[in-house]
Structure 1
Amino acid sequence: MVDKNLVGSAILAALLAGSAGAQSRTITIGLGYIPNVQFAPFYTAEQQGYFKREGLNVKFQHGYVSELMPLLLQGKLDFVVGDPEDAILARVQGAPVKYVMAVYQKLPATLFSLPGEGIDAANDLRGKTIGIPGAFGSSYFALQAFLKANKLSERDVRLAPIGFTQLEAVRAKRVDAAVGFVNNEVVQLRASGIRPNTLDLTKAYPMVGAGLITTEKVLADAVAKKVVRAAQRGVTFTISNPQRAFEIATSAAYAGPNGGTLDVLKASVALMRGGAFVGAIDARNWGTAVGFLQTSGQVPKRFKPSDFYSGAYLDKSVK
């Protein structure tokens, strides 16, 4: 005999589940690079159900930020994870975008060299060849600010555009040093038994690192706070549970087994810490960094730092 009450309960549960599914909304987030453990906060936010808790289905699209930003402006993406400068330079050109959550509280840019090169301080760079991806992006701006802060100019060094081959170029001694990231090239060198010399560029250019960027159209929608809150929870989970976040990030559903190492994720977690709360935007650091971009001619003086970011969509209760 079938229990009619159980049947009724099952039907009701199915109807409720169907209703909730019908009300859910799909949002697409562009992750500005190949699948990698650096995006663990977003992978874990999906896997742990933080987006679903907000009534959202999430899709991720990987690609270079230069490819993703046009899709954001066309409405084909809802958010992009990119550097603050991606939002700044786009807005300077008239794009209605803003940076709304910091995944990294500190820019990971560094200048690294092999220990035998004797580059221990800024003045050791005189006459040296420095590899850079190109004359663009956060790492280039950080290097410019570092040189200026130490009374050096680009004429005092030789800048060599080498694309994203910094690690190979330094190892092969094609350059004396290169601009890279503390959670990438530096970690890889240490894993191979080499302890590179590093110069911190972020004191001269104290910008936050990668975070969420979106359009003013999306910000006018209630979904914006939901997406930001779910992402904040993903950051919190990653900071508190790096081993589990690593397992999620390198599962077949996300970055796969070639998506990076636990040491890379741990170095990334160190960059996520330090804000007033998870995802916080430091107005003072933004002011200093934007000020440099203005004095170097990248950003017109008519803009205020707050034109490029907003902390209004962050949930300060997320710890």
Structure 2
Amino acid sequence: MVRSHPRRRALLAVASVTVAAALSACTSSTSDPTDGGTSAAESSSLTIGLTYVPNVQFAPFYRAEQQGYFDEAGVDVTLRHHGEAEDLFGALTDGTEHVVVAGGDEMMQARDQGVPVVSIATLYTSYPVALIVPSDSEIQSPDDLAGHTVGVPGPFGETYFGLLAMLQEAGLTEDDVSIEHIGFTQQSALSEGHVDAVMGYQNNDVPQFAATGLEVRAVPIGDVPLVGIGLGTTDELTTTETEALRGVVAAVERAVADLVADPQLGVDAAVEEIPGTVDAEQEAIMHATMEATVPLYGEPGPGWGAHTGPWQEMSAFLAEAGLTSAIVPADEAYNNAFTDDE
């Protein structure tokens, strides 16, 4: 099984690449500016960035491709997994990708840094990060963290954002705990006692820890002002590839509905994409991950994918925490024109 964290978080400090490169990479039919982009009668070619190696967490995209949902929506989709050290939004800004899977908080931070990324759909309706502790730990809630050591991959990404938001929610500061940057070694750091707790993904890390015999608990981090995984694209593509992007969101929703009805379909879809042979133990972990992920999707149907999370509050928090240089206007960071509200 691959490492649980979905991607490396080295965000772009400067995004000087023009969106014209992204547009030239889109193969689409003649667009009519009066109807919002590509004609539905013909297909566009879009690349979706799955920001990690093949993994069951990307099952909706595998399912949509394998079942022809993208094709039926009039979009020729290529799924692209990122390299080990690749910037999260690098391929989006240089035109290699047209859609990227990323956290709403990550998109907002990138936007502050000059990346013209905008969220077009919410994939996870609740934040997936949790505080993970040994099952016999005295830590029962974030309030108990004072004086303890918490491991996090580094000062970046959702696990770090979740840590800072959790501390604020609990009335604690970074000075009240010892924060260790442990890279992507949460499991060994926790099992060997190097840290008292780690930040990880409740739907991915916890099942993997359990599979190794490490008994852990996921401690909820509270009602934090953060938005989880969604689909991002560029400002420019929202106007030039409107119908194609709507097709992507609709196809992913169809796949999500399948997985909500039967999580095993997600496992089956992932097995087809993961190189090599998936043994019974690995498949069991994948199934546990899918079972834990399904509740994060919310209920498919009218309104699925809409940006109903705390975007305004997140903008204020990111600025206050120094994760953005200023408050990013929430209504510029997402666009609800691509979800089906009927």
Shorter-chain TM-score bucket reads: 0.7 to 0.9
**CA separation in 2, counterparts of 1:196 and 1:253?**
27
CA contact (8 A) 1:119 1:197 kept: no
Displacement after TM superposition at 1:199 (Å): 2.1
**CA separation in 2, counterparts of 1:279 and 1:256?**
34
CA contact (8 A) 2:112 2:326 kept: no
Classify 1:156/1:253 alpha carbon distance in 2 versus 1 (closer, same or farther; 3 Å): closer
**CA separation in 2, counterparts of 1:181 and 1:288?**
22
1:246 to 263, 267, 283: 267
Cα displacement string for residues 60-102 of structure 1 (whole angstroms, at most 9, x for unaligned residues): 1111695351111111111111111221122112222101111
**CA separation in 1, counterparts of 2:250 and 2:277?**
26
CA contact (8 A) 2:116 2:235 kept: yes
1:156 aligns with 2:181: no
Q: Which amino acid aligns with 1:67?
A: D
Q: Give the structure 2 partner of residue 113 of structure 1.
A: 133
**CA separation in 2, counterparts of 1:75 and 1:200?**
38
**CA separation in 1, counterparts of 2:143 and 2:228?**
26
1:233 aligns with 2:254: yes
Displacement after TM superposition at 1:253 (Å): 6.9
Q: Give the structure 2 partner of residue 15 of structure 1.
A: none
2:318 to 272, 293, 302: 293
SS in structure 2 at match of 1:60: strand
**CA separation in 2, counterparts of 1:43 and 1:181?**
21
1:212-291 equivalent positions in 2, closer than 5 A = 212-220=231-239, 221=241, 222-252=243-273, 257=278, 261-273=286-298, 277-283=303-309, 285-291=310-316
1:67 aligns with 2:78: no
1:1-319 equivalent positions in 2, closer than 5 A = 23-63=42-82, 66-192=86-212, 194-205=214-225, 207-220=226-239, 221=241, 222-252=243-273, 257=278, 261-273=286-298, 277-283=303-309, 285-317=310-342
Displacement after TM superposition at 1:309 (Å): 1.0
**CA separation in 2, counterparts of 1:138 and 1:111?**
12
Cα displacement string for residues 103-146 of structure 1 (whole angstroms, at most 9, x for unaligned residues): 11111101111123311122321211110011111221121111
CA contact (8 A) 1:79 1:214 kept: yes
Q: Which amino acid aligns with 1:250?
A: V
Q: What number of residue pairs does the alignment pair up?
A: 294
Classify 1:302/1:244 alpha carbon distance in 2 versus 1 (closer, same or farther; 3 Å): closer
CA contact (8 A) 2:122 2:228 kept: yes
User: Higher helix share goes to which structure?
Assistant: 1
Q: Which amino acid aligns with 1:264?
A: T
CA contact (8 A) 1:249 1:255 kept: no
SS in structure 2 at match of 1:212: strand
The structure whose Rg is larger is 1
CA contact (8 A) 2:315 2:328 kept: no
- Structure 1 gap segments, 5+ residues each: 1-21
**CA separation in 2, counterparts of 1:296 and 1:239?**
35
Query: What's the Cα RMSD here?
Result: 2.3
Cα displacement string for residues 240-262 of structure 1 (whole angstroms, at most 9, x for unaligned residues): 22112211211257796268511
Classify 1:68/1:157 alpha carbon distance in 2 versus 1 (closer, same or farther; 3 Å): closer
Q: Which amino acid aligns with 1:37?
A: V
CA contact (8 A) 2:55 2:274 kept: no
Moved more, 35-44 or 137-146: 137-146
TM-score w.r.t. length of structure 2: 0.79
**CA separation in 2, counterparts of 1:302 and 1:109?**
23
CA contact (8 A) 1:105 1:271 kept: yes
SS in structure 1 at match of 2:340: coil
Moved more, 183-192 or 215-224: 183-192
Classify 1:255/1:98 alpha carbon distance in 2 versus 1 (closer, same or farther; 3 Å): farther
TM-score w.r.t. length of structure 1: 0.84
**CA separation in 1, counterparts of 2:135 and 2:266?**
33
Displacement after TM superposition at 1:274 (Å): 5.4
Q: Which amino acid aligns with 2:249?
A: V
**CA separation in 2, counterparts of 1:300 and 1:76?**
27
**CA separation in 1, counterparts of 2:304 and 2:338?**
12
**CA separation in 1, counterparts of 2:209 and 2:291?**
15
